[in-house]
Amino acid sequence: RKEVEQDPGPFNVPEGATVAFNCTYSNSASQSFFWYRQDCRKEPKLLMSVYSSGNEDGRFTAQLNRASQYISLLIRDSKLSDSATYLCVVIYSGNTPLVFGKGTRLSVIA
Amino acid sequence: GAGVSQSPSNKVTEKGKDVELRCDPISGHTALYWYRQSLGQGLEFLIYFQGNSAPDKSGLPSDRFSAERTGGSVSTLTIQRTQQEDSAVYLCASSEIGLGAFFGQGTRLTVV
């Protein structure tokens, strides 16, 4: 199975900090990319899709670098409620399942 | 329904018994996925359906595991002769093909 790799962390940052996560994928033909968030003992929730041109949703910015085969997630002005595990997800083609990274754990500290 | 529904939410079973886990996907979603997650671990892919067919069942850990999907909707994951190592949260998700998936709340399976 093609791999999606993430730094497991934990990333411990103070409130208000900016933090960035990267995720690398192995298949250059990958088609679709997403970031999910998972809180402790909860199901993963779709945070945002990642588009080639990059996209922003409030304090969150996602970018795709096809040449280097990585995606990134930037969180500005971190809140305590941002503490969670962030999962990188790749779809290699329309006929294949979502491939999840193992996640990066973020703790935002007061 | 508005979201993915899984039942039961919790299941405690004795080692050696069979269990069935049910997933009701979001209406109209063609793709359906089963994953499992042990405490503190990442998601482990089990099986993927497009419509009623399963183009990728490579993640099923043994022949004690099987899954089916009928009518392009409800899916059932069956575990026969459960073992203690089967204890985990079993997560179902659905999506339109090629788009991000939405998860149910999972079934927490405990084999005693």
Q: Please tell me which residue, A30 or B30, carries the higher pLDDT value.
A: B30
Residue length, chain A? Answer: 110
* Per-residue pLDDT, A94: 65
Instruction: Say yes or no: B51 contacts chain A, CB-CB below 8 A.
Output: no
Give which of B36, B38, B43 to mutate to test A binding, by max A Cβ within 10 Å: B43
* DSSP-derived pairing of the beta strands A32-38 and A84-91: antiparallel
The burial class, CB within 10 Å (0-12 / 13-18 / 19+), for B9 is exposed
Mean pLDDT, chain B, integer: 94
SS (H, E, C) chain A: CCCEEECCCCEEEECCCCEEEEEEECCCCCCEEEEEEECCCCCCEEEEEECCCCEEECCEEEEEECCCCEEEEEECCCCHHHCEEEEEEEECCCCCCEEECCCEEEEEEC
What's the average model confidence in pLDDT over B20-43? 94
Distance of CA B13 to the CA centre of its chain: 17
Give A43-61 pLDDT, tens digit per residue.
Answer: 999 999 999 899 999 999 9
Instruction: Say yes or no: A55 contacts chain B, CB-CB below 8 A.
Output: no
Q: Do B33 and A99 touch (CB under 8 A)?
A: no
CA distance A87 to chain B (A): 9
CA distance A96 to chain B (A): 7
Query: Of B41, B55, B100, which has the smallest distance from its Cβ to A34's Cβ?
Result: B100
Give A6-15 pLDDT, tens digit per residue.
Answer: 999 999 999 9
Confirm if A38 and A85 have CB atoms less than 8 A apart: yes
